[in-house]
Amino acid sequence: MKQNENTKYVKLGITGAAVLAFGFAIMYILNQSKNIAAGIQLVFNILKPFLYGALIAYLLAPICNRMDERFLKWFPKATEKQKKGLKFLSIAIAVICAVTIVVLLILLILPQVWDSTVKIIKILPARLAYCNRMIDQLLKDQPELQTYFNHFSSQVENGLNDVLKANSSMMTTIQGIVNNITVQLIEVLSVFKNMFLGFLIAVYLLASRKLFGAQAKLLLYGIFPNKWAKIIEEEVHYTDKMFNGFFVGKIIDSAIIGLICFAGTTLLGFESAAFISVVIGVTNIIPFFGPFIGAIPCALLLLLGRNPWDALYFLIFIVILQQVDGNIIGPKILGNTTGVSSFWVLFSILLFGGLWGLVGMVIAVPLFGVIYDIIRKLTARGLKRNRHEEMMQEYNEKFHEEPEETETTQKDAFSKKINAKINEYIDKNVNNK
């Protein structure tokens, strides 16, 4: 009896020591959080080319898999050496196409950005003078408001003068501007350097993608028990399918929106139609907030152009275009790819956008779809373990009933065909990775 009590106290002591050690570890991590974050940021900056390469390889892998299939069908009697040559040919075609698209977009955007900047610099003084005249005209019959506005303008002007006087000389101001431009130029060159290295790394990753997949599987089954390894492998495949389905559909949808925007802005006679269409098409990849993020700077650009009323017409056009996209084009291409409701879409975009900025907004929906799927599976297993399967059945019957086939659902045959094609394309490429 006494031995059992001693064993009990020993176990309690070990448990208490473990809890104290865990608490001290948490306190140490919290105290060193800034240093840990700085270390993670340093490693992240060093590995940026590899992250770029991994992203490029992930986006190009489905194209390479599809071309590999085509080449094997066209050359069924190819030797192993010829198959390797065909594999590198498919990688070269995919990379060349991607580089061509990037270069064309840069060549399309940069000249128009330069022209727009020059136009804004030339027209801005006249626009400011026009705004002052308009404000004076509006405040002509309101002397109190005019006095307040004049006082506010003088305060702003004095503030600007104080800022200029704070610098010891004009040379200091010029030096500060040059330093800022130099920093921005270095950052732009760094992005191009990382993209160049990323494409080189992507070639190596694409060439060894099946080898890396096999090594990852060996590592997975070597570390975890069979049960957990199978669960993790299944979830990784689901994650891959979720992200592929979302990005493939979203890229197709954004390309269509960009083309429609280019046609509409050209017909309406807006300035910089190509540049505006590229901005709208690219930002459309971001769900929910993307159209607003792209439309606001484009509207400001038109506001400072030859006809300021074009900004209002453009905003009306974008609202109509996004309604068409949200109710017709988007559902036909994407369907309900992620299985996430509109509320959780908004929640995920705000959450991950706040954490990781624009990148977080882009990956928010598929990432939350994966998290949602994991929670759903854990809940189902918990209910099964606690013998409450009827609760899940009642929930599905009440909130997830299968709709009866009506004339409306029959008219959606085109949407089902597109979704089936996309899912078939994703399944083939995911299985071949």
pLDDT in tens, 88-97: 899 999 889 8
Confidence of residue 378 (pLDDT cuts 50, 70, 90): confident
The whole-number average pLDDT for the span 103-117 is: 78
Mean pLDDT of 71-89: 85
- The 10s digit of each residue's pLDDT in 226-239 is 888 898 888 888 88
Helices 170-207, 80-138: axis angle to 10 degrees equals 150
Q: pLDDT-based confidence at 168, cuts 50/70/90? A: very low
**pLDDT of 349 above 70:** yes
Give dist(CA 237, CA 228) in Å, integer.
Answer: 14
Q: Are 251 and 101 in contact (CB under 8 A)?
A: no
Give the whole-number percent of the chain exceeding pLDDT 70: 73
Q: What confidence tier does 13 reach under pLDDT thresholds 50, 70, 90?
A: low
User: Is 275 exposed, middle or buried (CB count within 10 Å of its CB: 0-12, 13-18, 19+)?
Assistant: buried
Look at 85 and 25; give whichever has higher pLDDT.
85
CA angle 407, 411, 412 (to 5 degrees): 120
Which token pair is 96?
């060349």
pLDDT at 412 exceeding the cut of 60: no
Residue 242: closest CA among 331, 144, 137, 366: 366
Q: What is the pTM of this model?
A: 0.68
For the stretch 271-285, pLDDT in tens is 778 888 888 888 888
pLDDT at 240: 86
